Structures are given as C-alpha cells and as structure tokens.
Structure 1
C-alpha cells in the first residue's frame, strides 16, 4: 500500500474515534526510516488506546501491516509503527511538552527558550 492510501486510512480511523488536532508531516527529506509522521491528540488514556487500536484494525483491513505499538501501558503517548508512516497519539499535555511537530518540521525552539 502506498503512503498516500495509508495516510487516508489512518486519518479515517482517527477521525472515526474523534481524534483532534491531527497533523501530517512529511519527513522523507529528514530521515530514510519513514516518510510521514502523523500526530493526533486524544482527551483521555482510554481514547488514545481506542484510537491506536482502530488505526491498527483499519490498516490491517486495508491490507497494510502494523510493525509495532508502543506506550499501551500508560496510554499517555502511543506510537503505532506502520512502516512508511509513524502515528503518534498523545494527550494534549504530553504533546505540548514534547512538541514533535516543531521538532520534525525544523522549527523547534532552543532548550533555553522552553519553559
């Protein structure tokens, strides 16, 4: 499955369980490990786990592969590795703290500017 189709499946799966603040970042020029990162927010640990599960189910149903899932113990930040696309599902406080969007798009602040 190509990356564009995989992204469409992922976004549908996230929206189905009401994820919000979904960002798609093309990182192909930064790393050769994967092409895209998708970051989504959830309102509770239960929702992060449901979102990660729904992404896995929908990707497998569409013929894609799930390589690994990390973070299921706490549920504050789940990572779903789908090969060319990595999905990060995070609680808003965790997302704000790590600021992956700025990190991967090259717009991160210097550590001395963070509070």
Structure 2
C-alpha cells in the first residue's frame, strides 16, 4: 500500500467519524498538535482553512498479515450518549474503510479493526468559542 493510499484510508475514516451525529470533532494526537503549532497554521486560519488537518485524530496502521488497525479519538457533544456514539463511530468507520478498500481493489481479504477513544464531551457552542 502506497503512502497516498494509506492517507486516503486515513481521510475516509476521519470523514466517516465526523459524519456521526454527536461527534463534534476529532482530537489530534500530541505529535499532530505540535506539528500544527510549528507550521503556518495562523495564516491558514486567517485564510479560512480549518485548524486541523482532515485526518487529525485518526491513526491507522496495516499489519503484515493485512489487518488494518485504526484508532479514532473523538470529542463528543455532551447531549449524546457516549456509548451509543462510540459504537456508531466504530461501525461507520469500519464500513467506510472496507468500502474504500473494496473499491480500490485491495489485495486479499482484509480485516479492519477500529478502536474509538472519547477524549472529552463538551457543548458544541463551547467548542466554537474555545477552539
């Protein structure tokens, strides 16, 4: 799998997670936050770009046996039940990544394993003002 294909799986997973009702945002890992701080983020924000890359909050690896391991770190709306949203994120990400891999003729039978971590719950209005 090429780097571009891996990034496409990464973006597919992020879009699927963000599409779940109750997911406010994805929580970037420390390395992603440091990279953002070191870049020209302020210029991008001033130009109207988002603050985090589309795939921030998603880690993906493919094992030598063809098993995809994805971790999705979510910030949720506190008005939604955490367990229900986490289950839906896991299901939707697995379905979306499997569909992507099927469309792009991934070699051999693949297994997609998704782990969802809820890093915090907040009110969506607080998210817009705090970040």
Q: TM-score, normalised by structure 2?
A: 0.42
- Return the index of the structure with the highest Cα Rg: 2
Structure with the bigger percentage of helix? 2
